[in-house]
């Protein structure tokens, strides 16, 4: 995988296309919170004349202003992928299409960011109708909250007069499973 700077992104893609990697395969995003404070854009191009040899480009974008040049003018097939990343991670592709692709136009948020808390993960039992230990047939186990559900002390059932939760604290508390506390 070749790492490029955001300002060199479009040039690197154009150079790979000129070198014969003219088949657009995939473009996606990875939220690296917890390891680095960035989003990583990954692009896969192939040269079908060389037994589908592939090249991968990646670019780290800052979380506070994730912007990168669109590659739609180089590869038209990238439009769907860019719209998906823009909608689900909040990355802005400059020069790309801005229409919604998957989410309702009224939806606010970026659901695939790790610091985004999804209400469905806190509002229903997870992963199904019964948690371990809720059935008479199963042995008693510690009840665990699954990864992705933040600690209510950080987000959720908090004092309304408290300041908003810090996104980094929410992501840290939601990053791993923990023992569920009994409410008294």
CB-based contacts of 9, cutoff 8 Å, min separation 6: 41, 57, 59, 68, 69, 71
Mean of all residue pLDDT scores within the chain: 82
The answer to whether 177 touches 145, Cβ cutoff 8 Å, is yes
pLDDT band at 52 (very low <50, low <70, confident <90, very high): confident
The answer to whether 58 touches 4, Cβ cutoff 8 Å, is yes
Report the pLDDT value the prediction gives residue 3, as an integer from 0 to 100. Answer: 97
The answer to whether 27 touches 82, Cβ cutoff 8 Å, is yes
Report the pLDDT value the prediction gives residue 145, as an integer from 0 to 100. Answer: 64
Q: Is the pLDDT of residue 10 over 90?
A: yes
Report the pLDDT value the prediction gives residue 44, as an integer from 0 to 100. Answer: 97
Q: How many residues does the chain have?
A: 184
pLDDT band at 86 (very low <50, low <70, confident <90, very high): very high
In this predicted model, what pLDDT tens digit does every residue of 22-50 receive, in sequence order?
999 999 999 998 888 999 999 999 999 98
Which of the following CATH numbers is that of domain 2-94: 3.30.360.10, 3.30.70.20, 3.30.460.80, 3.90.1150.10?
Answer: 3.30.460.80
Percent of the chain at pLDDT above 90? 46
CB atoms within 10 A of CB 115: 21
3-state helix/strand/coil string of the chain = CEECCHHHHHHHHHHHHHCCCCEEEEEEEEECCCCCCEEEEEEEEEEHHHCCEEEEEEEEEECCCCEEECCCCCCCCHHHHHHHHHHHHCCEEECCCCCCCCCCCCCCCCCCCCCCCCHHHHHCCCCCCCCCCCCCCCCCCCCEECCCCCCCCCCCCCCCCCCCCCHHHHHHHHCCCEECCCCC
Q: Is the pLDDT of residue 55 over 90?
A: yes
Domain ranges of the chain: 2-94, 114-184
Instruction: Provide the token pair at 112.
Output: 């695939």
The answer to whether 85 touches 29, Cβ cutoff 8 Å, is yes
pTM: 0.66
């Amino acid at each position: 995988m070749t790492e490029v700077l955001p300002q060199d992104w479009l040039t690197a893609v154009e150079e790979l296309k000129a070198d014969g990697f003219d088949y657009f395969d995939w473009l996606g995003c990875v939220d690296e919170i917890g390891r680095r404070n960035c989003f990583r854009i990954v692009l896969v191009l192939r040269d079908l004349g060389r037994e589908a040899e592939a090249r991968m480009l990646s670019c780290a974008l800052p979380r506070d202003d994730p912007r990168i040049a669109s590659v739609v003018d180089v590869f038209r097939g990238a439009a769907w992928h860019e719209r998906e990343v823009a909608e689900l991670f909040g990355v802005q592709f400059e020069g790309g299409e801005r229409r919604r692709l998957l989410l309702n136009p009224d939806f606010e948020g970026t659901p695939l960011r790790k610091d985004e808390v999804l209400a469905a993960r806190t509002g229903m039992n997870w992963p199904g109708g019964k948690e371990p230990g809720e059935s008479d047939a199963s042995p008693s186990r510690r009840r665990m909250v699954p990864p992705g559900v933040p600690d209510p002390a950080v987000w959720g059932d908090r004092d309304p007069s408290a300041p908003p939760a810090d996104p980094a604290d929410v992501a840290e508390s939601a990053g791993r499973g923990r023992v569920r506390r009994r409410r008294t």
